[in-house]
Structure 1
Amino acid sequence: MSIRHSLLALLEDQPRYGYQLRIEFENRTGATWPLNIGQVYTTLDRLERDALVARDGDDGNGHVVYSITPAGKAEIRNWFAAPVERNNPPRNELAIKLALAVTLPGVDVKAIIQSQRLSSMKSLQDYSKARRDTALNQRAGDIASLLVLDSLIFQAEAEVRWLDLCEARMIQQGLAK
């Protein structure tokens, strides 16, 4: 997830201070990925260093307000125009756990798969319920939350299917009964 580009996008909408950026990010993404306020300010410092944002005074209450620069606007246009690359996939803790489990003696791989399947199914149910609730009570701006929830639902579904495949492979290899 690019915090850098997310903050730039929010600043393109209007100048804000750090806490406002944090709240706005969480509101627009359905509070799925909470941001640490320290991470927001560290990112703002880097964006300022790179001349993509500038301090725009304060709000009268001591909060430093940031605005996007022309270079920042160009950066955000490029980010929106470019596809998300998959050449460096993020680490998947579950895939790493299972890869190690199948190579170590005495590890109950089937139990790991079953435990994860239960957890993934619970997440899938929670995301589906949140999506239904959001769709029923739809307000302006909820489309962003729906898109995020749809993505999480598809990821959870894919994880369950992958776990089914892992279990089938373990049975096929005689590693699980």
Structure 2
Amino acid sequence: MAAGEYVSVSSQTDAEQADIARETRELKDTPEAELEELTRIYVGRGLDEDLARQVAIQLTEKDALGAHSRDELGISETVTAHPMQAALVSAATFAVGAVIPLIIAALVPAAQITLIVAATTLLALSVLGGLGASVGGAGIIKGAVRVTFWGALAMAATAAVGMFFGVTVG
């Protein structure tokens, strides 16, 4: 999980860096067109033409690349991806989340292990999905349903692969 997260976020970071490099070239090669582009962005956000141009000029004079990165590309320091941080968080949350089914598996009778571990895992996914959504400021129900749905789908796919290869639990 952590390796996948690292690769995914690294790819996002690479794409952002390529966008910033392209924007840097455009600012050097066609500064007037870039100023006009920034003006159009601000007009599109509701400023009148004159004010939009003033804002574009002032932001360009202060930090042209920063203004274009933020307002044209949607990239800012506060939302820049950090691959190693994402990988560590993924590893920690995966490890903590894996403890729940392990504890349940150790406590229940072998004959009931598949059903009880699956049910408690889905319940834990629901709770953790809701908690994660709440912490992120999103809807708790939506977060719980999303995580539970995808967790159930992953469990079903894993069970299907196991059945295909003749490996079953219980």
> Fold match, TM over 0.5?
no
Higher helix share: 2
Larger radius of gyration: 2
Normalising by structure 1, what TM-score?
Answer: 0.29
Normalising by structure 2, what TM-score?
Answer: 0.30
